[in-house]
Structure 1
Amino acid sequence: MISGTCNCGGVAFTVEGPLPPASACHCGQCRKQSGHVWASAPVAETALAFTKDATLTWYDSSDIAKRGFCNRCGAFLFWKHRDEAQISVAMGALEAPTGTQLGRHIFVADKGDYYDIADDLPQRAQ
């Protein structure tokens, strides 16, 4: 079991592991929401359990997805595609050890012009 929280503790959750390799998303929405690159791991909805969710708010960020965040501290915690039974969980919200590593970069066609991707992990344009 892996635990996670937002900054203020208003949202607390557990993930039944193990976690798959994480993705670093470079899309414009993730960069704006997180301030840079957003790293997450997809988990089955059934593997995610909330122990506190009073401050969890969902934002419809597009026609296909929504983003979950704490409405008190602003921490961006989750990304959910409307047609999938999984939720991407922010790696930064999880307590160590997570038992996983970064496995790929996605939406690199949209990455910021102020940095380079300097590792050898697979990169997807979208």
Structure 2
Amino acid sequence: MKGSCLCGCVTYEVTGPLRPVIACHCVQCRKTSGHFVAASQAAKGDLHITGGEHLTWFRSSETAKRGFCAVCGSQMFWEPDGKDVVSIMAGTLDGATGLRIASHIYCESKGDYYELPQTESD
């Protein structure tokens, strides 16, 4: 699976499996994306980045950082401290992915301008 930022300065390839997509509605994800974040995840060792000199990391909390293209501003990655995984923004993946949204998290923080799908527990 391959992907890139909007301008193409940062590209990547994932050589291992990708987790199903998680939709995060937390305030940080809303602020960084302008809506909510939909992200897959891979092992750090399976992510191979080209153009890393254009990738900027922002420490968004005490426990994680976010990677974005310094040229076009595309939000690309979310990396938790102390774990061997990196989340990959699903919209940066090229072509058909075969992935699906598996769950929504931090739903209590979602914007009031959209509705979430109902689940059996709702």
Structure 2 CA distance for aligned equivalents of residues 122 and 86 of structure 1: 29
Unmatched tracts of structure 2, length 5 or more: none
Match of 2:28, SS state, is helix
Counterparts of 1:86-125 in structure 2 under 5 Å? Answer: 86-118=85-117, 120=119
TM-score, with structure 2 as normaliser: 0.93
Structure 2 CA distance for aligned equivalents of residues 34 and 53 of structure 1: 21
Unmatched tracts of structure 1, length 5 or more: none
Q: Aligned pair in 2 of structure 1 residues 83, 27: CA closer, same or farther (>3 Å)?
A: same
Counterparts of 1:1-126 in structure 2 under 5 Å? Answer: 2-118=1-117, 120=119
Question: Is residue 105–residue 122 contact of structure 1 (8 Å, CA) maintained in 2?
Answer: no
Q: Quote the sequence identity (%).
A: 43
Structure 1 CA distance for aligned equivalents of residues 121 and 18 of structure 2: 18
Q: Which amino acid aligns with 2:104?
A: H
Structure 1 CA distance for aligned equivalents of residues 119 and 61 of structure 2: 31
Match of 2:76, SS state, is strand
Question: Is residue 44–residue 85 contact of structure 2 (8 Å, CA) maintained in 1?
Answer: yes
Displacement, 1:122? 8.2
User: For each residue in 1:74-125, what CA deviation from the matched residue of structure 2 results, as whole angstroms up to 9, or x when unmatched?
Assistant: 00000011121100000000012212111000111111111110254989xx
Aligned length: 122
User: 4+ residue runs of structure 1 moved beyond 3 angstroms?
Assistant: 119-123
